[in-house]
Structures are given as structure tokens and as C-alpha cells.
């Protein structure tokens, strides 16, 4: 998906799910960095936004459920300039509009 060598990809998916492979290997084969978060952070929108901003994350892959949790938080404009990837389930059109809008 065009992750650059200076990119920083957030890895928040449990290793028991196949999409974790994308979150770990895509940055590594691209020369980019992986930003790991623990389970508690992945479930707390305030802590997750703090990590995204502090770690200067440039790419995030998440399920629509996680995207909705983040989109419902006041920091949503912090997505500007970041790559947004979605998988695991269908992305509702209204949520897609919020993420790119």
C-alpha cells in the first residue's frame, strides 16, 4: 500500500490473527518501523490516540470496530496525513466517509 521507508506502522492486532502479518512484515520489508501497542492500549481510544501521536505513526490498519472507536473520539482529525487501512470485516460507507473526510 505504498508504505515508505520513513513510515511508522501501528501494530495493534493480536498475533493470533492473520492481518498481524501485514502489520509486522510490511513495515520491515519496506524499511519502515513497527510501533507495537499492548492490548489495553489497543482498546482504549485515549491511550491509542496518544501512542499514534507520540510515536508519529504514519500508517494504521484496523478493523471497522476499531476505526469506529477511534472515529468517535474527538482526536479524529489527527488522522490527516496518515495511511488508513481497513480489514477483517466490511467497512460501512458512513465510517469510510468519516475516515477520509
Domain residue ranges in the chain: 8-100
In this model, does residue 74 exceed pLDDT 90?
A: no
The single-letter DSSP state of residue 16 is T
The alpha carbon of 99 is separated from its chain's Cα centroid by a whole number of angstroms, namely: 12
- The Cα–Cα gap between 53 and 92 comes to 26
| pTM score | 0.89
Fold of domain 8-100? Rossmann fold (3.40.50)
CB 47 within 8 A of CB 23: no
In this model, does residue 18 exceed pLDDT 90?
A: no
Amino acid at each position: 500500500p505504498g508504505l515508505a521507508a520513513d513510515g511508522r506502522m501501528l501494530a495493534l492486532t493480536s498475533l493470533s490473527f492473520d492481518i498481524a502479518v501485514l502489520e509486522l512484515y510490511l513495515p520491515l520489508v519496506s524499511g519502515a518501523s513497527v510501533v507495537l501497542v499492548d492490548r489495553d492500549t489497543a482498546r482504549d481510544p485515549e491511550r491509542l490516540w496518544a501512542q499514534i501521536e507520540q510515536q508519529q505513526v504514519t500508517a494504521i490498519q484496523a478493523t471497522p470496530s476499531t476505526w469506529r472507536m477511534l472515529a468517535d473520539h474527538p482526536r479524529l482529525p489527527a488522522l490527516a496525513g496518515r495511511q488508513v487501512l481497513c480489514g477483517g470485516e466490511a467497512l460501512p460507507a458512513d465510517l469510510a466517509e468519516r475516515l477520509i473526510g
